[in-house]
Amino acid sequence: YGAIFRAVAGPSLFGMPHRSELDRFLPYLQGGLGVVLQIVLGPLLVAVALFISSAILHVLLLLFGGAPRGFEATFRVRCYAEAASVIRLIPFCGTAIFVIYILILAIVGLSEAHRIGRGRAAAAVLVPLILFCCCCTGAIILMLGGLASALGNLK
C-alpha cells in the first residue's frame, strides 16, 4: 500500500518537514482564543461572504438582463434568503432542506425584487451551482484518471 500511496500522493509528501509551528499554535485556536476569534471575526466574514456572493449573483443577473433595480435589491434578497440558515439546526435533514429552501427563496426573491421572470432569476441562481458541480466532476475525473495511471505504472 505504501507504493500506491507514494504513486498517488507523490514523493514530496514524505519529504515535508514537521510542522511544529502549527502544532504549537493549534491548541490556542481550539481553546478560548478560537472562540473569541469566531465571535469577533464571524459576523465580519459572513458580511463579506454575503457581499461577494451578492456581487456574483448581480453580475449574472446583469448577464441575463434582469437587474433593473440595482445591487441593493440583489444584496437585500441574498441577506433575506440567508436568514433561512436557521433551518440548519434541524438534526439530520436541516442542511438538505436549507439548500433547497435557500434556492427557492433566492429565485422567488430576485424575481419579485427586480420584477423579472422566474426563469431569469433561476438561471442567475443556478448557473453558479451548475458550474461548481461541473468543476467538481471534472476534478474527480482527473483524480480517477491519475489514480488509474498510477496503478497502471505499478505493473
Q: What is the pLDDT of residue 110?
A: 95
Q: What is the pLDDT of residues 17-73, one digit of tens each?
A: 556 666 666 666 666 777 777 788 888 999 999 999 999 999 999 999 888 899 999
Q: What is the pLDDT of residue 42?
A: 86
Indicate the domain borders of the chain: 52-153
Q: How far apart are CA 132 and CA 94, in angstroms?
A: 22
Q: How many CB atoms lie within 10 A of CB 84?
A: 15
pTM of the model: 0.72
Q: How far apart are CA 38 and CA 95, in angstroms?
A: 21
Residue carrying the nine cell digits 469577533: 40
Q: How far apart are CA 83 and CA 94, in angstroms?
A: 14
Is residue 73 helix, strand or coil?
helix
The DSSP letter of residue 31 is: S
Phi/psi at 98 (5° precision): -60, -45
Q: How far apart are CA 84 and CA 47, in angstroms?
A: 15
Q: Give the pLDDT mean for 75-96.
A: 90
Q: What is the pLDDT of residue 26?
A: 66
Q: How many CB atoms lie within 10 A of CB 75?
A: 18
* Summary mean pLDDT of the chain: 85
Q: How far apart are CA 42 and CA 36, in angstroms?
A: 10
**Phi-psi sector, 14: left (phi>0), alpha (psi -120 to 50), beta:** alpha
Q: Give the pLDDT mean for 129-148.
A: 94
